[in-house]
Amino acid sequence: MNWGIFEGLLSGVNKYSTAFGRIWLSLVFIFRVLVYLVTAERVWSDDHKDFDCNTKQPGCSNVCFDEFFPVSHVRLWALQLILVTCPSLLVVMHVAYREAREKKHREAVGEDGGRLYLHPGKKRGGLWWTYVCSLVFKAAVDTAFLYVFHSFYPRYTLPHVVKCHIAPCPNTVDCFISKPSEKNIFTLFMVATAAICILLNLVELVYLVSKRCREGLAARRARAPGMGHCPDGATSSCKGDDLLSGDLIFLGSDAHPPLLPDLPRDHVTKTIL
């Protein structure tokens, strides 16, 4: 296993995450991925081999195992971790796309031709929506898998003995699960870390939305006092205030708002001509 890949991924995503996002990433990679790779696979490695039933009927143990373990814990966790970490990669890819556009723009117009993005890695415009959607997706994936685990294994625990009466078993037989206590401990640990990750995603989502709302309210307050109260001798300063308020209002956009000409009628005449 190449741990350098995970380290590079973690550092790359951390660069564009909030404090809550960094905590989430640390929790995922240390308490979920590492625990899964180092411990969980070994605990469930002898799952089928050590599933014993008190009968010698051929095929009885196989059908009983399939009845009580339709999907392995290890495979469900692997799919869950893949789906949970993919949205973070999308954020990094979006930032890389912005940086590539900015580089092409500078090559086309030169250093003095303006910039498309003042800070490509700053969560503004489309990148903000990508980040928010990634939080919603990650929380939804973890919630869905917790529901799937609970539907397959009620209360997320395994019994020591299960009773099976499915053909070709001759009658109701007792089947014994290997190391059920140890498996229950790791299952509850993974469930608890998934629940904490959901909580962190929701807290970060509330933080980002509330921050955006505060910025919008601040922009409106900054714009409201200056509208319609420009003295005749302060035209240039009013234009500057309008430009500043326009930048605040368009915090969610990468492009500045269009400025109208001083004499719209002359502009219309020139355009028509």
The secondary element (H helix, E strand) that includes residue 161 is: strand 161-164
DSSP 118-174: SSTTS--THHHHHHHHHHHHHHHHHHHHHHHHHHHSGGG---SEEEE--TTSSS-EE
d(CA 19, CA 85) in angstroms, rounded, equals: 17
Supply 17's token pair: 């995450």
Domain 3-222 has CATH 1.20.120.1770: no
The mean pLDDT of 213-237, rounded to a whole number, is 66
pLDDT in tens, 1-18: 454 565 566 566 777 788
Segment of 25-29, 220-224, 254-258 carrying the highest mean pLDDT? 25-29
Please count the other Cβ atoms lying within 10 Å of the Cβ belonging to residue 33.
17
Asked if residue 251 has pLDDT above 50, the reply is no
More confident residue, 266 or 167: 167
Reported as a pLDDT band with limits 50, 70 and 90, residue 204 is very high
